[in-house]
Amino acid sequence: MKLARQSFGEPFECKMPWPDDCKVQCGGRGIVFGKKDIYHTAFFEAFPNNPKTFIRGEGATVEEAELACWNKLEKYRACNLDHRNSENFDRRDYTNGAAFCVACGLFRLSMFEPTTECCQCGAKTYYGTDNEGKYWCEKCSDSMPEELKPEWKKEAEALLPSVSKEEIVKALPEVLAALGATLGIGPGAKQGETNEKMEFLSLQAVEICLK
C-alpha cells in the first residue's frame, strides 16, 4: 500500500489505490487561510499525472481527507471533456493563467496565459510586482529600480547567496505543496501571490530548514 508523507510523525498508510507515479502527502492539522476565516483541518494532497493536476481533500481525520481527495480524482477521471482543450476551461477569477474544467472542476495551473502585462515590455506575465502593484516579467525584473522593490524582494536578494539552486530545486515540490492551499497554486486557494514571491517563500523555507 502506498505511503503518504506527513507533516509530522510516521508516514500515513493510504487506504485508496493511488497510482505509483502519484505523489501524495498529508497532515492531521493543517492551517488554511480562507477568504473569510482561518481554520485547522486534516488534509490529504495528491499530484496525479493522469489527469495532471493538484488535488486536496479535507476532513476531520486524514482518512476522511484522503477519501475526499480520492473522490475528486474519480470525478475528474469520469469527465467526458478533453482536459487538453482550453475551450473546456474557465478562468473564473484567476488572472495568473489557472483555470477549471467547466464540467468537473479539474484545476489546471497553466491552461492560459496570464491576463496581466509587464509594465516595461508589455509581455503577458504573472512573475512579480513592484511596490506600486505594477507587474514585471522575469527578464525586466532584474532591472527594477531599488526604490520600486518590495521589502520581500530585498530580503530574497539577501538570502540568495546562502542557499544553492540545488537545495531550492530539491525542496520546491514539498514547499510549494505546503503553501499551495494558501497561496494560489491549487483549487480553492487564495490567489494573490506572484510566481516570484512564491519562489521567495520557498527560499525562506529552505533557509529555515537548513539552520
Q: What is the pLDDT of residues 121-161, one digit of tens each?
A: 999 998 889 999 999 998 999 899 999 998 877 877 776 65
Long-range contacts (CB closer than 8 Å, 24 or more residues apart) made by 28-35:
28/61, 28/62, 30/58, 30/181, 31/182, 32/58, 32/181, 32/182, 33/182, 33/190, 34/190, 35/190
Domain boundaries, the chain: 3-78, 82-115, 150-210
Selected residue with higher pLDDT from 33 and 14:
14
Cell of 169: 530545486
The arithmetic mean of pLDDT across residues 2-23, rounded, is 91
CA 157 to chain centre: 22
Element housing 35 (H / E):
none
Mean pLDDT of the chain: 81
Peptide bond into 150 cis (omega under 30): no
Residue 104 has pLDDT above 60, yes or no: yes
pTM: 0.67
Got the DSSP string for 186-202? STTPPP---HHHHHHHH
Q: Which single residue is written with the C-alpha cell 481527507?
A: 65
Cell of 147: 526604490
Selected residue with higher pLDDT from 69 and 93:
69
Closest CA to 177 of 59, 67, 69: 69
pLDDT, tens digit (0-9, with 9 covering 90-100), for 20-65 = 999 999 998 877 766 677 788 899 999 998 888 999 999 999 999 9
The arithmetic mean of pLDDT across residues 85-111, rounded, is 92
Q: What's the rounded Cα separation, in Å, for the pair 69 and 107?
A: 13
| Fold of the domain built from segment(s) 3-78 | Double Stranded RNA Binding Domain (3.30.160)
pLDDT score, position 198: 57
Strand residue runs (E) in 37-193:
38-47, 55-59, 89-90, 99-101, 107-108, 128-129, 135-136
